[in-house]
């Protein structure tokens, strides 16, 4: 009897752990392992996405909970990490260590990282201001941001590898911020949609 109870508890525990669902936030880079070559925007998030196992688009697969990098579908924000452009489509990351292929269509728009940062992002916020503060140049002196507001108007001036030069138009200040380190985002990306 004791062994049966132990077995029942074991299977109950195993069942509870396998039912964990991933809670998606607005930015989900912590649930992915690379940044790829850019992003794929899903234009109409209500339209079904067909995922394929192969780059020839022959073997369709059902993915119930793909993980987008940026997710706020009710505002038209749904971006997946693109790791490769292929003939007729894209290879995208759908979760950690999981990739799928999607066919090119009017429902998808590709942005390389430089184009995305310059044309889609309206504000950058360092995830850790003490480790990654705004600077006057790449690896330069730290700039004080105590008077800045979240809704300050900013524009990207240029991107140099892991660094982005930003102009805060509201405050008239130009600064540099390290936006990534290898495959890790160091900033929160806020979009204008």
DSSP-derived letter for residue 142 is: B
Q: Let me know whether 107 and 126 are in one domain.
A: no
Per-residue pLDDT reduced to its tens digit, 36-91? 999 999 999 888 999 999 999 999 999 989 999 999 878 888 999 999 999 999 99
Range of the domain at 104: 29-114
The pLDDT mean for the chain works out to 87
In a 13 Å sphere around the CA of 106, the CA atoms on its Cβ side amount to 0
Residues 42, 67 within the same domain? yes
Do residue 63 and residue 139 come from a single domain? no
**For each of the chain's 193 residues, which pLDDT tens digit applies?**
554 444 344 444 444 444 456 788 899 999 999 999 999 999 998 889 999 999 999 999 999 899 999 998 788 889 999 999 999 999 999 999 999 999 999 999 999 999 999 999 888 889 998 999 999 999 999 998 777 777 788 899 999 999 999 998 888 899 999 999 999 999 999 886 4
- 141, 135 contact by CB (below 8 A): yes
Strand partners, 7: none
- CA atoms of 51 and 122, how far apart (whole Å): 30
Q: Is residue 127 part of a domain?
A: yes
Closest residue by Cα to residue 190 from 85, 79, 93: 79
Q: Measuring CA to CA, which residue among 94, 124, 128, 132 is closest to residue 191?
A: 124
| pLDDT computed for residue 103 by the predictor | 97
Q: What local confidence, expressed as pLDDT, does residue 4 receive? A: 45
> Both tokens of residue 21?
């669902």
Residues 33 and 107 in one domain: yes
Split into its structural domains, the chain has a count of 2
CA distances from 83 to 27, 69, 102, 155 (A): 18, 12, 12, 26
Q: Give CA–CA dist 147/111, Å, rounded.
A: 33
Q: For residues 99 and 48, state if they share a domain.
A: yes
pLDDT at 5: 46
For residue 31, CA distances in Å to 67, 69, 73 come to 8, 8, 18
Whether residues 146 and 77 share a domain: the answer is no
């Amino acid at each position: 009897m004791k062994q049966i109870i132990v077995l029942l508890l074991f299977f109950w525990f195993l069942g509870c752990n396998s039912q964990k669902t991933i809670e998606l936030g607005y930015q989900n880079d912590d649930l992915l392992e690379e940044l790829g070559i850019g992003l794929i925007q899903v234009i109409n998030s209500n339209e079904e996405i067909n995922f394929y196992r192969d780059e020839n688009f022959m073997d369709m697969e059902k993915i119930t909970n793909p993980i987008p990098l940026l997710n706020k579908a009710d505002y038209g924000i749904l971006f997946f990490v693109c790791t490769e452009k292929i003939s007729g489509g894209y290879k995208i990351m759908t979760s950690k260590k999981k990739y799928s292929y999607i066919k090119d269509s009017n429902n998808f728009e590709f942005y390389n990282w430089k184009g995305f940062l310059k044309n889609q992002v309206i504000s950058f916020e360092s995830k850790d201001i003490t480790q990654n503060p705004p600077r006057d140049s790449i690896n330069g002196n730290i700039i004080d941001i105590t008077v800045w507001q979240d809704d300050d108007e900013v524009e990207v001036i240029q991107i140099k590898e892991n660094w982005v030069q930003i102009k805060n138009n509201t405050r008239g200040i130009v600064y540099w911020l390290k936006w990534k380190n290898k495959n890790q985002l160091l900033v929160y990306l806020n979009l204008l949609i």
